[in-house]
Amino acid sequence: MKSAAEDFFTIHAGRRLVLSAAGAAARGAYEAGAGLVLTYPGSPVVETFDLLASPESPLKSRCRIIINEHVAYHQALGYSLAGGRSFLIMKHVGVNVASDPMHYSAYTGVNGGMVILVGSDPGANCSTGEFDVRFYSLHTHIPILEPRDFGETVAATRNAFEISERYKLPVMVVIPSAFCYGVGSAQSGEAAPVKTAPGFVNSPDYTCVGAFAVKRHEALMDKISRLQNVFPDFESDALKPDFINNGGALIMASGIYRDYAHEALFELGLSRNHSIYSPLATYPLNHASLLKAFTAEEYKKIIIIEDLEGFLETQLCGFMTQNKITAEIFGKNYFKCAGELKYPEVKNILKRLLEDGDPLCCEGAPSVSISRGEGFLEPVMREGTFCPGCPHRAFFYALNKYISPEDVLGGDIGCSSLPPHFSSWLTCMNSGASIASGVALANGRGGGAKKQKVVSLIGDSTFFHGGLQTIMECAASDSNQICFILDNGWTAMTGHQPTFNTRPFQRQADGAPQALSIKKILESFGVKRIYEADPYRINKFKALLNEIIDSEDGFSAVIVKRECRLQAKKRKDSRNEKPIAEGLEPAETFEIIKGRCAGCNECYSVFTCPAIFKNEEGELYINQDICVKCGVCRQICPNGAICKSESSYGR
């Protein structure tokens, strides 16, 4: 049996594939012959890069994980200006980081097709924010495609390269997280030869200063106007909206909501009574095709179904005002702006809006109410937690013994940000030491009136992504904080992509630099107090905390180094590789000795290791199927009840 990735690249055109939307976008980029694939890892679009960079992929040597989205965007633009096709993959918050070059790229234009796949996250299922990334296009003027099903995601990503080359603009393909993680059937197309960059040719178009900038702005507006008005002589079928005119109300739906609308109308028995207009290109909206739709029918009621904040609605209202079209609009006054829009909600709102005067229309709709009688159980939120053996669990366990709830703990993005959210804040990449430096300034030396300790966190991946400048600044100003750099060796949260300190392990083999030493970087930045600690040696780590937590004034950095246990185990099991950090290599099996356990629950309720269970009699035990033998529980047990199991002796 072939692996899924093998199938993905060898399947003939016209065959059916089962793909997530993130995978479908990868297939589209492969079929388009992308010559360069760049990313900074971010859920929900990690799978797109992982597929294209997989060992089976013909594009694997063209795939690169870049230090951050800003640098990645510039690289993709440069490759495109040199004539090659570049494919850039990022999550919606990555667009914030890339937004500066993104604005200019619309001015300079592109040569080879440049496509940016953006995974948005309504519901913030895998992100720290859920803003509507599409609004970037109202000021960058970068066209957006929002594919409506899995098959179309392949085609839309492939065609986005054509559209980019035709209009000399980067093109964004936006897919929401539920769809990225959605799985459906798609048909494969023919894979084009890889379009590499023939070479850069100088042009005055690439200088966006003074009068040149004004000219480029004019040229950009002209391109947008062309995109708005290409109908009826569509230059590309790929841009045609889906339009079914049945009279009645006009339902305008973007992305996956086209099929929500279709299914809801079907279930409500209203498929033949109302019209659906669904644009693939949601920026700019195609005015020519909209005019055609509004000429065909005088719609009194327009219902707009889309994620988040009313991006289509904003544009449609502008279009209607410009063209003196009047109709009642039901958009964000009915469909929520925040959170993920679910099918039952869409169906119920359509039912409310469309069933007036036709009581039979809801016949057949399933009952949505369940009886909440005696014995009915409500679901309990399952807090995320660190994996068994996670070095972050040991780190936080120790740190929490030395700081009080009144102290300041600056949080950052990464595994260390997992619930229960020990930190005082959690916003964007590099928020830990940066915001902490402002708080430290406000407090002054000595922690101000409250004598607050200020400590901050940053993961190794985030350290390279955006933390370098902050650490330089903190070192230069001797910011009064202790910054813990949680170095687990990988971008673990998004699937163990390599970071700059693990580069020798990374997948892109050509030109890979040597691993960088965080300690040497800190030294070169002029950080005066640098400590190193292993959270698995928890008593030694606690001794260090005890020594520095109250006594230091000014900036200190502690490199907390221990490889992600999942990744270390995976590498050892599959390739017999050694862990990155030197020192203790967990191998022993532990058990809780019944007679010694006093039931204090330190391991169960405070340390909360998922491998420690409580049986029906309230006795604690270690589940050996889950335990990864990190041995930290043995060190934290105040009663000495956790010991090497007998089977471990004699090894």
Partner 1 sequence: MGVKNIIITGIGGQGVLYLSSLLRRALVEKYGAVTGYDVRGGAQRLGHVASIIRFEDSGDAARRLAIDFDDGACDFALALEASELLKFNAKLSSRSLAISDEFIINPTNIRRRDGTYYGFEAIKRHFMAITGKFVHANFRGEAAKKFNGPLSANLIMLGRLLKETGALLGLEDIETACNEEEFKIIKYGFEAI
Distance CA 603, CA 214 (A): 65
3-11 contacts, C-beta under 8 A, 24 or more apart: 3/56, 5/51, 5/54, 5/55, 5/56, 5/57, 6/56, 8/51, 8/56, 8/57, 9/56, 9/57, 9/58, 11/188
Question: Is residue 200 involved in binding partner 1 (CB under 8 A)?
Answer: no
- Plot region of 635 (φ>0 → left; ψ -120 to 50 → alpha; else → beta): alpha
Of residues 429-448, which lie at the interface with partner 1 (CB under 8 A)?
none
Residue 162 in contact with partner 1, rule: CB under 8 A? no
Nearer to partner 1 (CB atom), residue 83 or residue 119: 119
Contacts 24+ apart (CB under 8 A), 7-12: 8/51, 8/56, 8/57, 9/56, 9/57, 9/58, 11/188, 12/188
CA angle 511, 512, 516 (to 5 degrees): 140
Residue 619 lies near partner 1 (rule: CB under 8 A): no
| 383: contact with partner 1 by CB under 8 A | yes
Interface pick for partner 1 out of 2, 3, 10, 18 (rule CB under 8 A): 18
- Distance between CA atoms of 577 and 564, rounded to whole angstroms? 14
DSSP designation for 463? I
Strand partners, 485: 458, 559
Sole binder of partner 1 in the list 139, 300, 342, 594 (CB under 8 A)? 342
Output 316 or 387, the one with its CB closest to partner 1. 387
Residue 637, H or E segment: none
Unique residue bearing structure tokens 């970037």: 136
Q: Is 647 in the site for partner 1 (CB under 8 A)?
A: no
The token duo for 28 is: 């589209």
Output the CA torsion sign for 197, 198, 201, 203: negative
Minimum separation from the CB atom of position 459 to partner 1 (A) = 14
Applying CB under 8 A, does 306 fall inside the site for partner 1? no
Binding part of the chain for partner 1, among 83-91, 315-323, 385-393, 511-519 by CB under 8 A, reads 385-393
Contact window for partner 1 (CB under 8 A) among 71-79, 87-95, 206-214, 256-264: 256-264
Should residue 182 be labelled a site residue for partner 1 when binding is judged by CB under 8 A? yes
Which member of 129, 198, 247, 344 binds partner 1 (CB under 8 A)?
344
**Can you read off the two tokens belonging to residue 24?**
């479908």
* Cα–Cα distance for residue pair 601/579, rounded to 1 Å: 31
Residues sharing a CB contact under 8 Å with residue 334, sequence separation 6 or more, in sequence order:
303, 349, 353
Of these, 20, 434, 470, 488, which contacts partner 1 (CB under 8 A)?
20
**Residue in 266, 323, 546, 578 binding partner 1, rule: CB under 8 A:** 266
Q: Which helix (H) or strand (E) holds 430?
A: none
| Upper half-sphere CA count for residue 36 (Cβ side, 13 Å) | 26
| Window contacting partner 1 (CB under 8 A); options: 66-74, 359-367, 451-459, 520-528 | 359-367
The verdict on 347 binding partner 1 (CB under 8 A) reads yes
Interface with partner 1, residue 3, by CB under 8 A:
no
Of 86 and 494, CB closest to partner 1 = 494
Judged by phi (left if over 0) then psi (alpha if -120 to 50, else beta), residue 435 lies in alpha
The answer to whether residue 259 forms part of the interface with partner 1 (CB under 8 A) is: yes
Distance CA 273, CA 297 (A): 13
* DSSP-derived secondary structure for 512-559: PPPPPPHHHHHHHTT-SEEEEE-TTSHHHHHHHHHHHTTT--S-EEEE
Site string (91-130) toward partner 1, x via CB under 8 A: ----------------------------------xx----
Subset of 399-418 contacting partner 1 (CB under 8 A): 418
Q: How far, in Å, are 80, 104, 160, 203, 394 from residue 200 at the CA level?
A: 9, 18, 22, 9, 51
Q: Does 81 help bind partner 1 (rule: CB under 8 A)?
A: no
Binding partner 1 (rule: CB under 8 A), the pick from 171, 566, 592, 627 is 566
Burial of 26 (0-12, 13-18, 19+ CB in 10 A): buried
Shortest distance in whole angstroms from residue 530 CB to partner 1: 30
How far is Cα of residue 254 from the mean position of the Cα atoms in its chain? Answer: 21
Least Å distance, CB 502 to partner 1, is: 18
Q: Does 604 bind partner 1 (CB under 8 A)?
A: yes
Taking CB under 8 A as the rule, does residue 584 contact partner 1? no
Residues 492-531 that bind partner 1 (CB under 8 A): 492-493
- The distance of closest approach from Cβ of residue 566 to partner 1 in the complex, given in angstroms and rounded to an integer, is 7
Please work out the total of residues on this chain that contact partner 1, with binding judged by CB under 8 A. Answer: 65
Q: Choose the binding region for partner 1 from 85-93, 221-229, 476-484, 605-613 (rule: CB under 8 A).
A: 605-613
Q: Which is nearer to partner 1, 135 or 604 (CB)?
A: 604
Task: Give the pairing type, strands 281-283 and 144-145.
Answer: antiparallel
Q: How far is the CB of 22 from partner 1 (least distance, A)?
A: 10
Per CB under 8 A, residues contacting partner 1 are 1, 4, 16, 18, 20, 43-44, 125-126, 149-150, 178-179, 181-185, 256, 258-260, 262-264, 266-267, 342-344, 347, 365-368, 370-371, 373, 375-387, 418-420, 492-493, 566, 601, 604-606, 608, 610, 614, 625
